[in-house]
Every structure is written in structure tokens, then in C-alpha cells.
Structure 1
Amino acid sequence: MFACLTTFALLAAACFLPSEAEFLYDVACHEDSNELRCPEGEVIRLEDVNYGPPTPAICGARDQRVGHYSSGCLNHLTAVIYSVICNDWEYCRLPSEPISVNTCDENHFQEVVYSCHKLSESFKTVTTCVGDTAKLTCDKGHIWIDKSNYGRQDTNTCTEEPENVTWCIKDVNSRLDELCGGKSECEVSLNEGDFYPVPEECGPPPYYLRVRYTCKL
């Protein structure tokens, strides 16, 4: 079923693929993590993931295209999982170690190909630390939740000490829609246990809530 869904998603996305000149590349080697970043007002769309043995030339040119590299250790679910983590956000940091669906050994490069797409100016993004209150407001219309998650996607938000685990998220759209959807304003007090359980790989807090919404008339 996953293969069918993936094939359908790729066919649908083909209608909207940018030209190759608009692709961005991030190559991570050894214990580095891939970091995908779009300019303000634009969001990520993951296009492809490649693996292979590292060389000084590949590892020394992080933003340069490696090109197609056939590696039997890459599971087709890798790109699907990375898309869930990164798509539609401005910034994303991926794990430095192969995720569980891969059989790649630790000594490899990981090339992520992605593109950036403009986000409508009507969308607002709110990031709230545990212990604070998320405030969503609409001067006109009502709140419509576009995308939200709880966990951690970067090293520095809501923490004084940089965090290593940054690919840990839990989709909380349905919960936010239940709390705020259809209202003109909404406050969500974020206590530590509000959106538990978080995935096992998250490790200990601190976590934060990130919500993107728009105001529908």
C-alpha cells in the first residue's frame, strides 16, 4: 500500500516540479545532519534522497549536486518519512544516523534534494515553548489550522543548550483544530503533558508547539 501511495504522490507532484535549476542540495557525511532551509516566506518540498560512499570531494561541497547514486541500502520509505518531517516548513534538520527503515552502514553520505515554494502571505506561524501560551487570533474570519506539530525540529528553540535530537515531531492538527478551529481567537496553555506521548526517539524535553494557521472568511 505504501508503494502505491508513494507512486501516486510522485505522479501528482510531477505536475508541479520546478526546473532542475531550482533544486537545492544538502550533502551530509559521517556524523553530520542534513539541514534544509528556505528563505523567509517559502517552505520546503523534499524531492529525492541519495546515499553512497563518501569521498573528500563529495563531503567538501555540501551544497553541490552529487548526482544519481545507486545504493541498495536505501529503503523507499526513507523519502516518505523525511517528507513528513520536513515538507511545508521553512527549516528542517534530519538525523545524522540512518533511520530504522534503512540498512545503510554509518559510513555514507546522504544527499537530500529539495525545492522551496512560496507560502501564502495569509498564513501565520506561532511557536510556543512548554510553560507558555500559544495565542492565535483573527481580525476577520475564523481560525483554520493548516499544519501543526509538537516536539523539536531545530537545535536552539526553547532551550539554552543546543539539542542533538531535532527530527522528533508529533502531528497535533486534530487536537489544535478541536481547541481553536472556527474561533476568532484562541489561547492554548502549553503544559508539559498536554501532547504526550511523544515518539520514543524524542528523548527528554524541552519541546515546543509550532502552529501554522490562516483566517478563513
Structure 2
Amino acid sequence: MYTFNMLVPKPSWITLLLFLCQHDVMGRNALVCEGDTANLLCSEGHIKVSEANYGRTDRTTCSEGRPESQMGNVHCIQETSIQKMSLRCDGKKSCSVPAKNSIFSDPCHGIYKYLDVTYECIPSKRAVICEHNQNEISCDSGLILIQYANYGRRDRTTCPNQHATSDCYSSQIKRLQSSCNGRRTCSLFASNSVFGDPCYGVYKYLEVTYSCEPGD
């Protein structure tokens, strides 16, 4: 009686890399010169910014046609870049942010800068609760892990209202992580009495993205 052992080839590094890319596990990059707009996009999942800098860390990027004097500072780092990008883009399917001093402020006067962003597309759920309303987030299996939370307004179309001015940011991720992480359900009330008023007179909403992680 003969026994045949079938040899199953192990997946190569190339196969593994292709798998990771197809499933948006690896980081993506958006790099634009000062004055242009960075466009972040996730066909699946939601944006999670991992690194960002508005400034300059080398002499070659975005250097074409520019005088040497505008390339001189290669230690130009705006430490609030990741915070500003996260507030504007985390939890969205797509996001556009201009690389301008008016958004990031000027970390190095006279230097021609660029915006360099690394982000991932993470699987998550999204919930939006209009101001003065209450709702809950929940996991059918697993436990809640908050990925992003903002009480304010990031566009004019969500929870439409005549007082729907955009660009109102108030990160609530630490507050919601404290109250919701590790639970199966979490009740949320979108109100100034809970989160404060980050933009007086603007009709706001609570926007949350979260995942359901394995747990007891």
C-alpha cells in the first residue's frame, strides 16, 4: 500500500504582500506640495491617519522650480499635523485637505512645504447622532472599541439644518473610549450639556466610528 504526501507550497512574500494590499491592511500614502490638496480614499473600511507632517524633511520633495533658499530647513515639523488630519479625516470614506498655512499654521517661515500623510483603511462601524437626539452603538458579537469620535460638524449635508456651517471639530475619542470601550452596547446623547459647545450657533452632531473586538 502506497501513501502519497501532497506538498502544498507555502505562500511567497509576494503573495502575502498582494493579500495585504488587497485588504487595505498596509498603510497608504498621500503626499502633496504646499497649495495642493491631499485626497485620502478608502474603498473599504474607514480612514485612520497614522502619521502626518506639514513641513519639510528633505531637499528634494516638491523642489522643482523652487529656489535653494526655500529648501534649506529639512527639520521643519508641524507636530499638530496628525491631530488636524485625524480630526478632518478619521472615520470617513474619503477626505480632502489643502496643504496650507491657514489649516496647519506655518512651522517654518520662508520654506516651501509639503503635506505627507500615512493612513490605513480599517474595518469599522459608523454612527451619527444629530444634536438633541439619543441613540446607542452596539456589537452583536465582541466588544466596542472606539476608533474616532467628534462632536461638531465636518460637512454641511449630515444632519442638515439652516445652521449647518462646517469645520467644527471637538474630539471626544477619550471620553467615549472611557465610557464605551469593552461594552456590548453604549447609549449616547448628542448634546452640549454632555460634550460642551465647540461652535456656538452651529447645529452639531456626534460622529463615531468603532469596531467590535473579541472579548468575553
TM normalised by structure 1 equals 0.58
Residue 176 of structure 1, CA deviation: 1.9
Note closer, same or farther for the CA distance 1:186–1:48 as it changes in structure 2 (3 Å cut): closer
Report the 3-state secondary structure (helix = DSSP H, G, I; strand = E; otherwise coil) of the residue aligned with 1:77: coil
Counterpart in the other structure of 1:49: 54
Counterpart in the other structure of 2:157: 156
Report the 3-state secondary structure (helix = DSSP H, G, I; strand = E; otherwise coil) of the residue aligned with 2:151: strand
Q: Structure 1 stretch 137-146 or stretch 79-88: which is displaced more?
A: 79-88
- Quote the Cα distance in structure 1 between the aligned partners of 2:129 and 2:189: 9
- Quote the Cα distance in structure 1 between the aligned partners of 2:212 and 2:149: 15
Q: Which amino acid counterpart does residue 213 of structure 1 have in structure 2?
A: Y
Report the 3-state secondary structure (helix = DSSP H, G, I; strand = E; otherwise coil) of the residue aligned with 2:102: coil
- Quote the Cα distance in structure 2 between the aligned partners of 1:103 and 1:42: 29
Q: Which amino acid counterpart does residue 160 of structure 2 have in structure 1?
A: T
Instruction: List gaps (5 residues or longer) in structure 1.
Output: 1-15, 52-64
- Quote the Cα distance in structure 2 between the aligned partners of 1:17 and 1:49: 22
Counterpart in the other structure of 1:192: 192
Q: Choose from 21, 24, 27 the match for 2:30.
A: 24
Contact 1:125–1:213 (CA under 8 A) maintained in structure 2: yes
Deviations along 1:110-143, one digit per CA (max 9) or x if unpaired, are 85343452313xx211122112223211212332
Residue 163 of structure 1, CA deviation: 5.2
Report the 3-state secondary structure (helix = DSSP H, G, I; strand = E; otherwise coil) of the residue aligned with 2:174: helix
Counterpart in the other structure of 2:126: 125
Deviations along 1:120-172, one digit per CA (max 9) or x if unpaired, are 3xx21112211222321121233222322212222322224595542x32222
Note closer, same or farther for the CA distance 1:193–1:110 as it changes in structure 2 (3 Å cut): farther
Question: Paired residues, what number?
Answer: 177
* Residue 144 in structure 1 maps to residue 141 in structure 2: no
- Quote the Cα distance in structure 2 between the aligned partners of 1:67 and 1:197: 42
Q: Which amino acid counterpart does residue 172 of structure 2 have in structure 1?
A: V
Contact 1:24–1:115 (CA under 8 A) maintained in structure 2: yes
Counterpart in the other structure of 1:56: none
Counterpart in the other structure of 2:79: 77
Residue 71 of structure 1, CA deviation: 8.1
- Quote the Cα distance in structure 2 between the aligned partners of 1:49 and 1:156: 28
Counterpart in the other structure of 1:172: 172
Report the 3-state secondary structure (helix = DSSP H, G, I; strand = E; otherwise coil) of the residue aligned with 1:24: strand
Cα RMSD, aligned residues only: 4.1
TM normalised by structure 2 equals 0.58
Counterpart in the other structure of 1:62: none
Note closer, same or farther for the CA distance 1:75–1:38 as it changes in structure 2 (3 Å cut): same
Deviations along 1:76-101, one digit per CA (max 9) or x if unpaired, are 23524434424643344547662474
Residue 182 of structure 1, CA deviation: 3.1
Instruction: List gaps (5 residues or longer) in structure 2.
Output: 1-24, 65-69
Note closer, same or farther for the CA distance 1:141–1:203 as it changes in structure 2 (3 Å cut): same
Counterpart in the other structure of 2:91: 89
Contact 2:132–2:191 (CA under 8 A) maintained in structure 1: yes
Q: Choose from 104, 114, 117 the match for 1:114.
A: 117
